Structure 1
Amino acid sequence: MKKLLLSAMILVAVTACKKESIITENTESTTGDSVTVPESNEISEAIIPFKQIELSPQETSEILAKKDNDTLYVTNFFATWCGPCMREMPHFKEKIKEMESQPVKFTFVGLDPKEDWETKVKAFAEENNLSKHIVLVDGQKLTPEFFPKNFKQWDGGSIPFTFMRKGDKTDETIGMMSKEMLDEKINSFK
């Protein structure tokens, strides 16, 4: 419990440091028992704690497999150390919010080294409110056979990589996607 509270306090402190603010120095010393709180139109989202869900290569193949329903499955392979992965992530976050009432499931497969799961991946997931969308795969367990078994184009040589599937129709994108490209690809499944 203490660890959870400490993590939440650190996350709040880090988040607060990122906000732009103007601080004016006041040299006068005043005493009083009231505090002025600035008004804000932002609605803060509750932080969903990150749970490490590790998938085996077989379980990863199962989430990529064809399903007999009308849901679009968008699976993005990423790592927190990957610059292009981080640059495209805001587009995915926007799409998640935009399509929350539609039959679309977004999954982010984290390929960070295992020693970074509890630190870097956890911080990224919670800071970006993606905790419920991220699963983890130990990249060292992905054999060369995994890639041609699951994909037509991707050989695991670079990330980000996004795989979309709805029934028999699939789409593979190697490399970073712009907002427009992501919109176009998702719309092609409608």
Structure 2
Amino acid sequence: MNSSKLLYGLLALAALLLGILAQRWMSGEPSAPPNGASVDSVSLRDLDGNPRDIAEWKGKVLVLNFWATWCAPCREEMPEFTRLQTELGGKGVQFVGIAIDESEAVQDFLKETPVNYPILLGDERAVAWAERLGNRLGVLPFSVVFNRDGQLVDAHIGPFSREQLTEVLKPLVH
């Protein structure tokens, strides 16, 4: 086999694999949550530079959303998360955004698109944490839902629609 045929074959295989990954991401195919995963005690900085520990929200139904300002699907789902925080916050649901981005970019973005839930700044530790929680593709947005006992009940790669998220939250909210 000549080298150009081999190169074209490898490129075709790479395109096929990328297409499969893109299809899974675009369809919002859920990621399989790791067996027995629970919310870790992870400390990340808020936008003022203060450390915040995820354990602060112990006892609540916790929705962690890993996102970035440059991620269009991330930006599109945030207004719905804000509405759901308003609707379900009194029932013990807490959204927390984890921005995989620079502080200045996040602050500028939030001036235009304010949210009513805490935003923490993620770093390489947050990316590794998302991977441990089931983000096997390493893409954004990525959301996870923990019950009141801190057990992971859902991991979702790609945009999380209101309908999908309320189906997950319904049995957890009393």
Match of residue 124 from structure 1: 109
Q: How many Å separate the matches in 2 of 1:88 and 1:110?
A: 14
2:47 is matched with which residue: 48, 51, 59? 51
The residue number in structure 2 matching 1:183 is: 166
Q: Which secondary structure state, in structure 2, belongs to the residue aligned with residue 158 of structure 1?
A: coil
Q: Paired residue for 1:160? A: 141
Q: TM-score scaled by structure 2?
A: 0.60
Q: Structure 2: how far apart are the matches of 1:189 and 1:160? A: 22
Q: What CA distance in whole angstroms lies between the structure 1 residues aligned with 2:127 and 2:80? A: 30
Deviations 1:33-81 (A, max 9, x none): xxxxxxxxxxxxxxxxx933466xxx7xx527994x3x10111000010
Count matched residues.
126
Query: Residues 3-152 of structure 1 correspond to what in structure 2 (within 5 A)?
Result: 51-53=47-49, 63=54, 67=58, 69=59, 71-112=60-101, 114=102, 117-118=103-104, 120-130=105-115, 133-139=118-124, 141-142=125-126, 144=128, 146-147=129-130, 150-151=132-133
1:75 is paired with a residue whose SS is strand
Contact 2:144–2:152, Cα closer than 8 Å, also in 1: no
Answer whether contact 2:142 2:157 (CA < 8 A) is retained.
yes
Where has structure 1 moved over 6 Å in runs of 4 or more?
Answer: none
Moved more, 168-177 or 79-88: 168-177
Shift of 1:100: 3.0
SS at match of 2:140: coil
What is the alpha-carbon distance in structure 1 between the residues aligned to residue 48 and residue 172 of structure 2?
Answer: 31
**2:156 equivalent in structure 1:** 173
Contact 1:125 / 1:131 at 8 angstroms: preserved in 2?
A: no
Larger RCO (CA under 8 A, 6+ residues apart):
2
Q: Which has the higher helix share?
A: 2
Instruction: Give yes or no for contact 1:163–1:171 (8 Å, CA) kept in 2.
Output: yes
Residue identity opposite 2:106 in structure 1: V
* In 1, Cα distance between equivalents of 2:70 and 2:127: 22
Give the gaps of 5 or more residues in structure 2: 1-45
The percentage of counterpart residues that share the same residue type is 29
TM-fit CA distance, 1:136: 0.2
Which structure dedicates a bigger proportion of its chain to strand? 2
Q: Which has the larger radius of gyration?
A: 1
Instruction: Report the CA distance between 1:185 and its aligned residue.
Output: 1.5
